[in-house]
Structure 1
Amino acid sequence: MVLILGLLGASGCGESGLGPDVPDNNVVLAGDGDWGDDPYVANSASVNGRGLTVEVEYSGGCRRHIFTLVISETFLESDPVQLPAELVHEANGDACERWVTDTRVFDLDLVRTRYRQFYGPGPGTVVLRVEGLPGEDLVYEFAG
């Protein structure tokens, strides 16, 4: 099983505490869903407060593209714990060829909730191991 963090731009979605462009439902627990397998390039990624920000590039521009951060349901035991993940892309059949650069933000609140289910209340640190993202460790720290 996997946790999913997805950014949906659809109207009617509530917003998270991260702002109006980050829906409150962008963190969900995955079942047997098909989350997409369309190509993209990840240029950068960083954790800022409760959010994971990723700059992506992809071909398209005519339809809404959905990026979902698929996160393992289980943590890897280390100090700090690690959480394997993969960023996936659903282009919704967009055949346009414009090269789009976009910044997506994922609310990490459910990661904190899952951490507390495994390790109890209080502060925590999780290293996100996101396959295909450039850069250093993505470290998510939160207070108690």
Structure 2
Amino acid sequence: MVLILGLLAAWGCGESGLGPDVPENNVVLAGNGDWGDDPYVANSASVDGDGLTVDVSYAGGCRRHIFTLVISQSFMESDPVQLAAELVHEANGDACERWVTDTRVFDLDLVRTRYQQFYGPGPGTVVLRVEGLPGESLVYEFAG
């Protein structure tokens, strides 16, 4: 009986129906879908090279959690330019209550590509204003 209950508990904490081709850390343009609204805590954030690194905590542990960095369609004019964004969380119905803390890295290539579409090729600096992250802003600098 105990073995059966253990197997059922393990089965209930399996992966969601999402296949391995669904990335856990997306960067997308605003307006292109519903990316989740489940709660989380952002413990720290930094830009390292072409990556935004965020340490997050959330309740779960039984299903795959997806975090998406949703960036604005346009830049706010200033020097340097600013880009509004929001980090959203999709828990995929995970009802488990374990407190999970992990590190997520988001490739900022889409930010660089959009910047170069607006302002031309070459190096650039973008101030990321990401709702829900600690600190006022994060600075992303890149070479051409």
Give TM class, smaller chain. 0.7 to 0.9
What is the match of residue 114 of structure 1?
A: 114
TM-score by length of 2: 0.81
Aligned residue in 2 for 1:68: 68
The alignment's TM-score, normalised by the length of structure 1, stands at 0.81
1:1-144 matches, cutoff 5 A: 11-12=20-21, 26-144=26-144
Higher helix share: 2
2: CA distance, partners of 1:104 / 1:55: 6
Which 10-residue stretch deviates more, 124-133 or 27-36?
A: 27-36
Instruction: Give identity over the alignment, percent.
Output: 87
Retained in 1: the 8 A contact 2:85–2:130? yes
Pairwise CA distance, 1:116 = 0.3
Extract structure 1 runs of 4+ deviating beyond 6 A: none
- RMSD of aligned Cα (Å): 1.8
Q: Which protein is bigger by CA-based radius of gyration? A: 2
With over 3 angstroms needed to count, the CA separation of the structure-2 counterparts of 1:12 and 1:85, relative to structure 1, is closer
SS of structure 2 residue aligned to 1:116 = helix
Give the deviation of 1:132 after TM superposition.
1.2
Distance (Å, rounded) in 2 between the aligned partners of 1:70 and 1:29: 6
Distance change >3 Å, CA 80–CA 120, structure 1 → 2: same
| Unmatched tracts of structure 1, length 5 or more | 1-8, 14-22
* Higher strand fraction (1 or 2): 1
Unmatched tracts of structure 2, length 5 or more: 1-17
- CA distance in 1 between counterparts of 2:70 and 2:138 reads 15
- CA distance in 2: counterparts of 1:63 and 1:51, whole angstroms: 25
